[in-house]
Chain A
Amino acid sequence: MIAYVCKYTPIEMLTSMGAELVRVEPEVTNFNEADALMHPNVCSYAKAVLEDMAAKDYEGIVLTTCCDSIRRLYDTLKSRYPDKFVYLLDVPRVVNDYSTGLYAERILALAKAYADFRNMTGNIDDKVFKELGNTIKVEQDSLKKTGNSGSRAQPDEKAIQTHAPQVRVGILGARCPQSLLEILDEHGVRVAFNMTCTGMERASSLWDRMPELPETTEQGSENATGSSQSDLMKYYASALLGQIPCMRMVNAVNRERYLEGFESELDGVIYHTVKFCDSYAYEYTKLHKEGKVRMLKLETDLTKQCEGQIRTRVEAFIEALEAEKRVNMGKAEQMRNASNTEQLQRPDGNHMSNRIHDKQADKDILVMGVDSGSTSTNAVILNGKREIIASATVRTGAKTSESSQKVLEETLNDAGRKLGRKITREDITVITSTGYGRVSIPYADRNVTEISCHARGALYFNPKVRTILDIGGQDSKAIRLKDDGTVADFVMNDKCAAGTGRFLEAMARTLEVDIKDLGTISLESKEEIEISSMCTVFAESEVISLIAQNKEKADIARGVHKAIAGKAYALMERVGLSPEYMMTGGVARNKGVVKALNERLGADIYICDTPDIVGAVGAALYALGID
C-alpha cells in the first residue's frame, strides 16, 4: 500500500502500475514521535501522518510540495525510512501550458522511480499508459451516466428521523476530520459540498471540467507511440492541475465563487482549519469580513481528543442554524417545529414535549436546567412563569455523575424549601443539560450546547444584550446575538487555558491570594504592570519574577486582569462588538477583570446578580420549550 495525502497526487497513474493507494486519514492520540523528530510547531496533519507511518506498514508514501510542513515531513520520513518508497512530487503553483508539461514530466519521473523501487523493468511499460487511458475513459463514461455534475460531494441520503428543519452546510478549509462528518451525519445535516483537501469526490473533481479524452490519445496509448503517450500525460496533468485550486496555488483567487452556486441551498459553512496549517485562515478571514454566509470556524489538531470540542461547536452551530430557519418559517411554523423537535424520551417512554405544552398553562409546572462545566456544576429550577424557583452550585470534581447527582439533590431541596413542600425528580417535567459534561448527566431528558443556553439565559436577564462574553473554568466564549435573539456568531478559545478561570486560579495561587479576593485586591493597584505572556505556565513564571522584584500584589493582580481583558476583548472582536455587552460565568464575579474589560471596551459590561447560573437558566428555558 502506498499512502498519499494530496488531491494533486497522480493516483490513477500509480494504480495503473499496480500500486494500491490509500489516503492517509490518521487517527492519533499524541504526537510523541513527530514532536521528537520534527518540532511541535508544525502542522498537526503533517505530524499525524508521521505518527501514522510509524504505526502502519505502508510500502511508502507519495507527498507533494503542498506546504512547508509537508516538505519537512518528506525530509524526515526520507531520513527515517530509507528502505521505503518516500517520494516528494513537486506540484506547480502556476497553471499554464508550460507548467502542465513540467508536471506531466514530473509525474513520469515519479512513475519511473516507483518502477525502480518495485524492480520493474526500468521504463514504464506501454500497458501502464493503456491502463491509464482506460481508467480515464471508464471514469468519464461513468460520470456521464450518473450525471453527477459538479464536484459537489453527494452525501448518501440517510433516513434520519428528525423533524427539525434540515440544515444544509458546506465544508471548506483544510483536511476535514472524520469525526466532523460523523457528527453532521448523526444530526441529519446535509453536506452540500466538502471542499477540504481531499474531500471532493475524486472522479468528478478531476474530469468534470475536462473535455473528453481525445480519441487519438486513447488509440495512441494502445499503439504506445511516444507522442501519444506524451499527449495522454499532458491531458492527465491538466486534469490534475485543473481541480478547484487549493490555497497553495497562485490562482486560488475567488475560490468562494464556488459558493455562489449554492447560495439558495446553503444554510451555513463550516470552515475547518488545522493547527499550524495557516493557509486557510486567510480565506476564512475574507469570507468572514464579507459576511455573506453564516460560518463556523473550527480549528482542530486532528487528534481524537478534539472530538469533544468539535461536538460542542458543531452542535451549537446546528442549533443556531435551526433556530434561524425556524424564525424564517414564521412564528406559527416555529412553534410547531419547536414542539416537534423536542425529542424528549423519559425512561418511561413518554414524549415530554407534548406534556410540556399540555401543561403550559399550569403555573405549577417545574423544569430544570443543569450546566455541567469544568469547574462548577450549576442547576436552576424555573416554573411555568419563567420565575427562578431554586438554584444550586457544586464543584464538578473528578466525576460528572457524582456532582450532577449532588446538584440535583441540592436544587430539589432548595425548591422544597422555597415552595414549602417536598420536591422530587418526578415533579420536574423536563430537565435539560448543557456544558462540557452535558452528555454525562444521566437524569437529563435532552442536552443543548452551552452556546445556545448562554444566549438564551443572557436575554432572560437583559433583553438588550447583543454580545455575551462567558469566561468559565476551562474555556471562554464570545457570542453575538441577532435582534431576534438567535445566535449570529460565536467563537471559543482553543484548548489552551489562557484567559480562563483556570488561568486566574493559577495566578491567585502564585500570589497566595484567595481567588475570591483577587479582583478586589487589584482595585487598589497604583502601578501599571504588564503581564506579557498569556500562556498559563509562562505567565506564572512572569508573576514569580515580579514577586521576586518585590512588586505589589495589587499591581500584579491588575496586570493579570488586564491580560485576561485583552484576550477576552480579542475574542469579542472576532464575533463583532455589538452593544449591549454582558459577561457570564464565574469570572464575571471578579471585579478586577470586569473593570479591565470595561476600560478596554470603553463601555460598561452588564453583569447580573448570578452570572454563574446564566447557562443553567438558558437550559431551563430550553426545557420549557421557549424559544
Chain B
Amino acid sequence: MNAAKLYGNLIWREQKKDPAKAGRMISAGLHLYAWSIRHFPHKGMPKAYQYLNDQGLENVAKGLDDPGKLAWTNIFAPVEILECFGLTCVSMECLSSYLSGFYIEDRILDKAESEGIASTLCSYHRGFIGAVDKGILPLPEFAVTTSMVCDANINTFRYMEEMHGVKSHVIDIPHDYSPEAEHYVVEQLRDLIRELEEKTGRKLDMEELKNRLRSENRAKAHLISFMKKRRTHAYPQTMTLVLFQLFASHLNIGTEWSEKVFEMMDKEVESYPDTDEKKIMWLHVEPYAQPTLQSYFNYGDKISISCDDFDLDYIEPLDAEHPLEALARKMICNIYNGDYSRKTDAVADYIREFRPDGVIQFCSWGCKQSAGGVGLMKEKMRDLGVPMLILDGDAIDRRNCPDGQIKTRLEAFLELLNSSDEKSSSRDPNVAAADHAEAEVHE
C-alpha cells in the first residue's frame, strides 16, 4: 500500500471519531507532500513545476488552515477580486482532486450518493458534497461561483448554503457577449465587491486589481510562448503537474507566483532538447490517477501533453484600465461558454498555433457540457484531418475508469499517430495532422 493511501485510511479512520481532526490531517498531508517534493523532487521534474507544485499545495493547505480567510470557488470564478481582499481561493474541484489523491474518493462519493445526490453528478461535485457532509473540510466564510460552463455549480453552492450555512455568491454569466450582457455581469461584480467590502471591512483597491490583471496578461503571454516552444522542445511532465497548471492559470491567476511559474516554464523549456515524442492537445481535465495514462505521460518519451484547452480558455489580453469590464468579458467570452462552435473554432486555432500531433478529449463522468459536444469536436477534427481520441472515464473515481479500455485505446491511438507519420512525410505546417484518421470513439 502506498503512503498516500495509507495516510488516507488514517484520515478516514479519524473522521469517524473527530471529523475536524481528519480535516487537519488533510492539510497536514498537503504540507508534508509539498515538503517532500521541495526536498526530494523527482529527478526529472522541471524547476518551474517544482515551484508550481509547492505553491499550489501550500496555497490550498493555507486555505484549510485558516478558514476565516478561505473562499470556496469554482474554477471560473473571478479570483482576482477575491485575492484583493486577502482571501485564499480554493476551488471545490481542487478539493475533490486532493481527496482522491488520498485514495478516499470512493468513500466521499458513496456518502453523497447515499444521501440522495445523483450518482450521475460530476464526481468533482459529488466528492466535494460527500466530504463536506462528512465534516472533513473546514467551512469557509464565503463562497463564489459562476453559472457558466457547468450547471452543477449553482446547485452545489446553494446546497452548501442551505445545509451548511456557507454564504454563496453566484454570478450569472450570459451565453453570448453583448454590451448589455457585459453590463449585467459588471453590475453583479459590483454587488460582489460591495458584499466583500462589508464582510472584510476593507475597501477594494482598484489599483491592486489593475495590477493583478496586468500580471495575468504577462502570465498568459508566457504560457502561450511556452506552448509555442513545446511544438519542438521536450518538457518533462506528469498528468498531475499539467493539471496543477490550473492553479497558476485559474485559481491563483493574478498572483506574483502564478506569473513566475509561467515565466519560469517559458525560459526553462528552451533548455530541453527537441523531441520526436507525439504531442497531444488535451481537452478537458486530466485523470491524473489513471494507471495507463500515468505510465505513458508521466516522464515518458513517447507521448506528452503540449497544450490543453483549459489553460487556454481565454487568452485575449485583459483591459487592465477597465478591470470589471475586462473580467466580465473574460467570463462571457470564455471558450467553454456560449455555443460549442466557439470551442471547436478555438481548438482549431490552437491546433494551428501549437501544432500538436493529435487531440485527446477526456469525457469525465457527469460532465455533460464536455461529453455532449464530443461528437461535434470529432467532426471538426475530422474536417481538419487531426487524429482525435475520445476517452471515457472519471477524473476522480478510480472505480469508474476502466484501465483495460483506456490502455487499448491509447496504445491504438499511438500506433495510429506513428503510422500516420510514416505515411505522410510531408506535413502541412499549418495543420499538425496526419492523413484523415480517426481514433476509436467511446462505447
Which residues in A have their C-beta under 8 angstroms from that of B175?
Answer: 65, 71, 88, 90
Q: Which of B158-217 contact A (CB under 8 A)?
A: 158-159, 161-163, 170, 172, 174-176, 180-181, 183-184, 187-188
- Per the bound structure, the CA–CA distance linking A574 and B368 in Å amounts to 26
Q: Mind listing 25 A-B residue pairs with CB under 8 Å?
A: A38-B375, A39-B363, A41-B371, A42-B372, A71-B175, A71-B340, A71-B369, A72-B368, A72-B373, A74-B339, A75-B376, A76-B376, A88-B175, A88-B339, A93-B147, A250-B154, A277-B118, A278-B118, A278-B121, A278-B122, A285-B117, A286-B162, A541-B404, A566-B110, A574-B114
Q: Which of A378-437 contact B (CB under 8 A)?
A: none
Chain A interfacial residues counted at CB < 8 A? 61
Which residues in A have their C-beta under 8 angstroms from that of B341?
Answer: 75
Main secondary structure of the interface of B (DSSP, over half): helix
- Per the bound structure, the CA–CA distance linking A70 and B105 in Å amounts to 29
A533 at the A/B interface (Cβ < 8 Å)? yes
Whether the pair A92, B151 counts as a contact (CB closer than 8 A) is: no
B293 at the A/B interface (Cβ < 8 Å)? no
Whether the pair B375, A39 counts as a contact (CB closer than 8 A) is: yes
Given contacts A41-B120, A250-B170, 17 further A-B contacts (CB under 8 A): A37-B375, A39-B363, A39-B442, A68-B149, A68-B372, A75-B341, A78-B339, A92-B174, A93-B172, A250-B154, A253-B158, A253-B162, A276-B366, A289-B116, A297-B116, A570-B110, A573-B114
- Per the bound structure, the CA–CA distance linking A118 and B375 in Å amounts to 30
Whether the pair A282, B159 counts as a contact (CB closer than 8 A) is: yes
- Per the bound structure, the CA–CA distance linking A351 and B170 in Å amounts to 62
Query: Which 3 residue pairs are nearest across A and B when measured between Cβ atoms?
Result: A72-B372, A285-B116, A281-B118
Known: A43-B368, A541-B402. A75 touches B442 (CB 8 A): no
Whether the pair A72, B340 counts as a contact (CB closer than 8 A) is: yes
Q: Which of A61-77 contact B (CB under 8 A)?
A: 65, 67-69, 71-76
- Per the bound structure, the CA–CA distance linking A344 and B159 in Å amounts to 48
B131 to chain A, nearest CB (A): 15
Which residues in A have their C-beta under 8 angstroms from that of B121?
Answer: 278, 281
B256 to chain A, nearest CB (A): 34
Which residues in A have their C-beta under 8 angstroms from that of B116?
Answer: 281, 284-285, 288-289, 297, 574
B399 at the A/B interface (Cβ < 8 Å)? yes
Q: Which of A67, A73, A252, A545 contacts B158 (CB 8 A)?
A: A252
Which residues in B have their C-beta under 8 angstroms from that of A40?
Answer: 442-443
B251 to chain A, nearest CB (A): 22
Q: Which of A273, A278, A297 contacts B366 (CB 8 A)?
A: A278
Q: Give A89's nearest chain B residue, CB to CB.
A: B175
Q: Which of B305-323 contact A (CB under 8 A)?
A: none
Q: Which of B376-433 contact A (CB under 8 A)?
A: 376, 379, 392, 398-400, 402, 404
A46 at the A/B interface (Cβ < 8 Å)? yes
A538 at the A/B interface (Cβ < 8 Å)? yes
Q: Give A494's nearest chain B residue, CB to CB.
A: B119
- Per the bound structure, the CA–CA distance linking A248 and B163 in Å amounts to 18
Known: A93-B170, A99-B172, A545-B404. A76 touches B372 (CB 8 A): yes
Whether the pair A533, B163 counts as a contact (CB closer than 8 A) is: no
Whether the pair A99, B150 counts as a contact (CB closer than 8 A) is: no
Whether the pair A99, B151 counts as a contact (CB closer than 8 A) is: no
- Per the bound structure, the CA–CA distance linking A540 and B170 in Å amounts to 44
Known: A281-B118, A282-B159, A574-B114. A71 touches B400 (CB 8 A): no
Q: Give B122's nearest chain A residue, CB to CB.
A: A278
- Per the bound structure, the CA–CA distance linking A267 and B162 in Å amounts to 25
B152 at the A/B interface (Cβ < 8 Å)? yes
B162 to chain A, nearest CB (A): 6
Q: Give A91's nearest chain B residue, CB to CB.
A: B175
Q: Which of A99, A275, A538 contacts B120 (CB 8 A)?
A: A275
- Per the bound structure, the CA–CA distance linking A290 and B353 in Å amounts to 54
Q: Give B121's nearest chain A residue, CB to CB.
A: A278
* Chain A interface (Cβ < 8 Å from any Cβ of B): 36-43, 46, 65, 67-69, 71-76, 78-79, 88, 90, 92-94, 98-99, 102, 105, 247-250, 252-253, 273, 275-279, 281-282, 284-286, 288-289, 297, 299, 532-534, 538, 541, 545, 566, 570, 573-574
A106 to chain B, nearest CB (A): 9
* Chain B interface (Cβ < 8 Å from any Cβ of A): 106, 110, 113-118, 120-122, 147, 149-152, 154-156, 158-159, 161-163, 170, 172, 174-176, 180-181, 183-184, 187-188, 339-341, 363, 365-369, 371-376, 379, 392, 398-400, 402, 404, 442-443
Q: Which of A43, A72, A282 contacts B155 (CB 8 A)?
A: A282
- Per the bound structure, the CA–CA distance linking A76 and B188 in Å amounts to 31
- Per the bound structure, the CA–CA distance linking A520 and B413 in Å amounts to 44
A270 to chain B, nearest CB (A): 14
Which residues in B have their C-beta under 8 angstroms from that of A277?
Answer: 118
Q: Which of B113, B188, B340 contacts A75 (CB 8 A)?
A: B340
Whether the pair A92, B372 counts as a contact (CB closer than 8 A) is: no
- Per the bound structure, the CA–CA distance linking A193 and B19 in Å amounts to 41
Whether the pair B172, A94 counts as a contact (CB closer than 8 A) is: yes
Whether the pair B372, A570 counts as a contact (CB closer than 8 A) is: no
Known: A39-B371, A67-B368, A68-B150. A286 touches B159 (CB 8 A): yes
Which residues in B have their C-beta under 8 angstroms from that of A286?
Answer: 159, 162-163
Whether the pair B170, A534 counts as a contact (CB closer than 8 A) is: no
- Per the bound structure, the CA–CA distance linking A69 and B120 in Å amounts to 13
Whether the pair A248, B174 counts as a contact (CB closer than 8 A) is: no
A478 to chain B, nearest CB (A): 10
Whether the pair B399, A534 counts as a contact (CB closer than 8 A) is: yes
Whether the pair B172, A72 counts as a contact (CB closer than 8 A) is: no
Q: Give B126's nearest chain A residue, CB to CB.
A: A278
Whether the pair B115, A288 counts as a contact (CB closer than 8 A) is: yes
Whether the pair A105, B376 counts as a contact (CB closer than 8 A) is: no
Which residues in A have their C-beta under 8 angstroms from that of B152?
Answer: 278-279
Q: Give A66's nearest chain B residue, CB to CB.
A: B151
Which residues in A have their C-beta under 8 angstroms from that of B367?
Answer: 68
Which residues in B have their C-beta under 8 angstroms from that of A275?
Answer: 120
Q: Give A94's nearest chain B residue, CB to CB.
A: B172
A68 to chain B, nearest CB (A): 4
Which residues in B have their C-beta under 8 angstroms from that of A75?
Answer: 339-341, 372-373, 376
Q: Which of B120, B174, B371 contacts A278 (CB 8 A)?
A: B120
Whether the pair B375, A76 counts as a contact (CB closer than 8 A) is: yes
Which residues in B have their C-beta under 8 angstroms from that of A281?
Answer: 116-118, 121
Q: Which of B122, B158, B374, B402 contacts A533 (CB 8 A)?
A: B402
- Per the bound structure, the CA–CA distance linking A570 and B162 in Å amounts to 24
A157 to chain B, nearest CB (A): 33
Which residues in B have their C-beta under 8 angstroms from that of A289?
Answer: 115-116, 163
Whether the pair B375, A248 counts as a contact (CB closer than 8 A) is: no
B370 to chain A, nearest CB (A): 9
Q: Give B115's nearest chain A residue, CB to CB.
A: A285
Whether the pair B114, A570 counts as a contact (CB closer than 8 A) is: yes
A496 to chain B, nearest CB (A): 10
Which residues in B have their C-beta under 8 angstroms from that of A68?
Answer: 149-151, 367-369, 372
- Per the bound structure, the CA–CA distance linking A78 and B120 in Å amounts to 26
- Per the bound structure, the CA–CA distance linking A249 and B155 in Å amounts to 9
B342 to chain A, nearest CB (A): 10
- Per the bound structure, the CA–CA distance linking A275 and B116 in Å amounts to 13
Which residues in B have their C-beta under 8 angstroms from that of A570?
Answer: 110, 113-114
Which residues in A have their C-beta under 8 angstroms from that of B170?
Answer: 93-94, 250
A173 to chain B, nearest CB (A): 11
- Per the bound structure, the CA–CA distance linking A90 and B339 in Å amounts to 11
B364 to chain A, nearest CB (A): 9
Which residues in B have their C-beta under 8 angstroms from that of A284?
Answer: 116
Q: Give B156's nearest chain A residue, CB to CB.
A: A282
- Per the bound structure, the CA–CA distance linking A502 and B303 in Å amounts to 41
Which of A247, A282, A533 is most buried by chain B, counting CB atoms within 10 A of its CB? A282
Q: Give A254's nearest chain B residue, CB to CB.
A: B162
Whether the pair B158, A282 counts as a contact (CB closer than 8 A) is: yes
B100 to chain A, nearest CB (A): 13
Whether the pair A98, B184 counts as a contact (CB closer than 8 A) is: yes
Whether the pair B372, A273 counts as a contact (CB closer than 8 A) is: no
Whether the pair A67, B404 counts as a contact (CB closer than 8 A) is: no
- Per the bound structure, the CA–CA distance linking A67 and B148 in Å amounts to 10
Whether the pair B154, A93 counts as a contact (CB closer than 8 A) is: yes
